[in-house]
Chains A and B, each alone.
Chain A
């Protein structure tokens, strides 16, 4: 089992609100590897929308994404896509 982590900074105005969380969960649910998100000392299963919402991550929050799966390339691709979604402000434009 390989494991990769990456820090993500929430950049959209509304933070990781319900719709954004749904997009994130929808994206990672399409991938096989386990996906965890950590804010400070709280780590939750990033494939569960309630968990992601519980983080209440406002704009500027740094989250650490951790993926665990059998092959490293897949993990990297997955993190790339997640990072793109976050950096794209979840398609909200602001």
Chain B
């Protein structure tokens, strides 16, 4: 499981959370490992079973006005769980006035306490976006990611099989390079994976015989993009006469990246086979499938219909008709 430190929330300048540290600096090194925030709600009544460690607690109007309308002793009791539950941090929204009891327990337990001027709803949606982004499961794959007709095609295969050359060919055909060689992959939500290039090498490619090329400079700004959802995996393999390749396309095979199954095509490479064209057509075919048309299945149905409609040929024995 990925995790980030609480101080990264404070340092972030991308999501504009507007956080200011009130107290509890000692806990800035605490980890956040859960990408959903929590509003304590019932925890104030003593029912703290669902308060999770390493999770961000957001106190909005409801929580703070509850705290203000009970007695100071009651307040201390309502907040007691903060001393032991090791929550990641506490954020008070809308610039609400913070009760001393909350400040005290955060200081003594080393729980970072932040305030923000944002409304709870705004803070939560921004924070959620930040946490999903930073805590997303991620991996790195060796391959090339190209946007072909809007389909993110991840080309895999052994070193030297011609992945980069194939990608270059696709770029020449006005498709867009996302990442060459090293693809950083992140999962978003349960079934979407995005791929992107590494900061240092992004928009560059190595082509044997030419060396390192800057694709953006050579082909212009429209020839590259920073990230793309991966919707099709094409695995290039050396042609082998012993191997059976898919001839029909009815069986759907998948390649699993970060627990997400993505349609997989295995394409054998051999002189005279234009891999670029095959990948372009594969992307078109994938577009069709996404719109509900499946060439191979439709063809099979057509064949089945044709067979059902035709009367079986009569058996002819010699000159006699049976």
Decide: B140 and A50 in contact? CB cutoff 8 A: no
In whole angstroms, how far apart are the Cα atoms of A45 and B159 in the complex?
9
Quick one: which of B180, B181, B200, B206 contacts A56, CB cutoff 8 A?
A: B200
The distance from the CB of B134 to the nearest CB of chain A, in whole angstroms, is 15
Decide: B159 and A50 in contact? CB cutoff 8 A: no
A36-69 vs B, CB cutoff 8 Å, 1 = contact: the mask equals 0000001111011111011010000000000000
CB within 8 Å for A44 and B142 given contacts A49-B212, A50-B182, A54-B201: yes
Decide: A50 and B181 in contact? CB cutoff 8 A: yes
Whether, in the assembled complex, B55 has its beta carbon less than 8 Å from a beta carbon of chain A, the answer is: no
Decide: A48 and B181 in contact? CB cutoff 8 A: yes
Decide: A18 and B140 in contact? CB cutoff 8 A: no
Decide: B212 and A29 in contact? CB cutoff 8 A: no
Whether, in the assembled complex, B176 has its beta carbon less than 8 Å from a beta carbon of chain A, the answer is: no
Residues of chain B with a CB closer than 8 A to A44's CB: 140, 142, 182
Whether, in the assembled complex, B78 has its beta carbon less than 8 Å from a beta carbon of chain A, the answer is: no
Number of interface residues of A (CB under 8 A): 14
The distance from the CB of B140 to the nearest CB of chain A, in whole angstroms, is 7
Number of interface residues of B (CB under 8 A): 14
Decide: A54 and B182 in contact? CB cutoff 8 A: yes
Decide: B181 and A42 in contact? CB cutoff 8 A: no
Decide: B206 and A50 in contact? CB cutoff 8 A: yes
Residues of chain A with a CB closer than 8 A to B200's CB: 53-54, 56
Decide: B212 and A51 in contact? CB cutoff 8 A: no
CB within 8 Å for A50 and B201 given contacts A44-B182, A45-B142: yes
Whether, in the assembled complex, B232 has its beta carbon less than 8 Å from a beta carbon of chain A, the answer is: no
The distance from the CB of B87 to the nearest CB of chain A, in whole angstroms, is 27
Whether, in the assembled complex, B198 has its beta carbon less than 8 Å from a beta carbon of chain A, the answer is: yes
Whether, in the assembled complex, B204 has its beta carbon less than 8 Å from a beta carbon of chain A, the answer is: yes
Residues of chain B with a CB closer than 8 A to A47's CB: 159-160
Whether, in the assembled complex, B155 has its beta carbon less than 8 Å from a beta carbon of chain A, the answer is: no
In whole angstroms, how far apart are the Cα atoms of A81 and B315 in the complex?
74
Closest residue to A41 on the B side, CB-wise?
A: B140
The distance from the CB of A26 to the nearest CB of chain B, in whole angstroms, is 11
Decide: B160 and A51 in contact? CB cutoff 8 A: no
Q: Could you tell me which residues of chain B, from 169 to 211, have a CB within 8 Å of some CB in chain A?
A: 180-182, 198, 200-201, 204-206
Decide: B159 and A53 in contact? CB cutoff 8 A: no
Q: Could you tell me which residues of chain B, from 24 to 51, have a CB within 8 Å of some CB in chain A?
A: none
Decide: A53 and B140 in contact? CB cutoff 8 A: no
The distance from the CB of A94 to the nearest CB of chain B, in whole angstroms, is 24
Closest residue to B208 on the A side, CB-wise?
A: A49
In whole angstroms, how far apart are the Cα atoms of A42 and B201 in the complex?
14
Q: Could you tell me which residues of chain A, from 4 to 59, have a CB within 8 Å of some CB in chain B?
A: 18, 29, 42-45, 47-51, 53-54, 56
In whole angstroms, how far apart are the Cα atoms of A50 and B200 in the complex?
9
Chain B residues packing against A (C-beta within 8 Å) = 140, 142, 159-160, 180-182, 198, 200-201, 204-206, 212
What 7 A-B pairs have minimum CB-CB distances, sorted nearest first? A50-B181, A47-B159, A45-B142, A48-B181, A51-B182, A49-B206, A54-B201
